[in-house]
Amino acid sequence: MQNWFVRVLVSSLAVLITAYMLPHVFVANVATAIMIAILLSFLNTFLKPILIILTLPVTILSMGLFLLVINAAIILLADYLLDEFKVDGFIWALVFSLILSLVNSFLEQLLGTNKQQEDDRD
């Protein structure tokens, strides 16, 4: 549980950094960034596997690139669900998801909260 909380805090920092970098993405404050991180965690855990199964033929035909569309759709759903989070369209949701993934990976490596490192310790 504590580890999940640390990862949410790292993800919320990544959301703030990414939103600061992109002019067409708006995050109101730190509390909103934490809510976005929790919501994205929830959506990626429960909704994304269902979407992947439903779009498996398209994902295979596109050699996995359709997963980027699924990520952007999840970002747009988070935009719809939270009033303090705004993304100006599909392209910016796609760019936001790509940069968010990179920033989140960098911060996890920097802060040592990488899931693979935890598995190595056990």
In the chain, where the domains are located: 2-89+105-114
Q: pTM for the whole thing?
A: 0.87
What is the per-residue pLDDT for 2?
76
Give CA separation, 115 vs 85, 98, 109, 111, in Å: 27, 19, 10, 12
**43 class by beta-carbon count within 10 Å (0-12 exposed, 13-18 middle, 19+ buried):** middle
CB atoms within 10 A of CB 46: 9
Mean pLDDT of the chain: 91
pLDDT tier at 119 (50, 70, 90 boundaries)? low
Residues 6+ apart with CB under 8 A from 94: 68, 69, 71, 72, 75
